[in-house]
Amino acid sequence: MLGASKPEAIEVRVAAHSSMRGRCSQCHVACPGYDRLEQRRWQFVPLWNIPVWFVYAPRRVECPQHGVVVERIPWSDGKRPLTLAMMGFLARWARRLSWRETAEVFQVSWESVYRSVEWFVEWGLAHRVLSGIEAIGVDEIHWGHGLKADNFLTVIYQIDAGCRRLLWIGKRRTEKTLRLGLEALGPAVVPGAALCLQ
């Protein structure tokens, strides 16, 4: 409708299905209810640049294995105030814009962008597959101002013909740092890889 003012935010109120038990946030098993906590808000992906919030009062369940815990909330991870979808949204935009610009454009804090990128990096590291690596490369990167030791990073890449990706990064450009990186990747990667110092 022309001339209508844009809402400040959209709130999506979520309610648990009355016939479905909550699931333990640790083992994801359906458990009997214990009580309900106060309402919380999670920021979702904006709609037409209007902030969207999920509003829900989480249940606590009594798990035989883990005791009384907050139920598993499928759009959330722990106590983070952003939905998983929003964290993915911010992390992807943070690849195109600076983190400050991403925060300004989508009306979130710089820390929200940082935490979103951090979460996806941690998730990626936990789920990445390191099998089949045939060649790795080692390089150094200078960042910041000055030539102090802390202004250099050691990076290890996969440089196979069909796959080029960053595998590890560490502070300083020393033999000790390189050894730490190779140890972190483990014997499944390093012995079978052709080490190529660039």
Cβ contact 46:102 at 8 Å: no
C-alpha to C-alpha distance for 41 and 54, rounded to whole angstroms: 6
CB within 8 A of 139, min separation 6: which ones? 154, 155, 157, 198
Residue 50, CB half-sphere, CA atoms under 13 Å: how many?
Answer: 11
Say if residue 3's pLDDT is above 60. no
Q: What is the pLDDT of residues 93-122, one digit of tens each?
A: 998 999 899 999 999 999 999 999 989 888
Residues of the chain with pLDDT > 90: what percent?
51
Region 146-166: mean pLDDT is: 84
Region 156-161: mean pLDDT is: 88
**Which phi and psi angles does 87 have, rounded to 5°?**
-65, -40
The distance in angstroms from the start CA to the end CA of the chain is 60
Dihedral, CA of residue 179, residue 181, residue 186 and residue 189, to nearest 10: -100
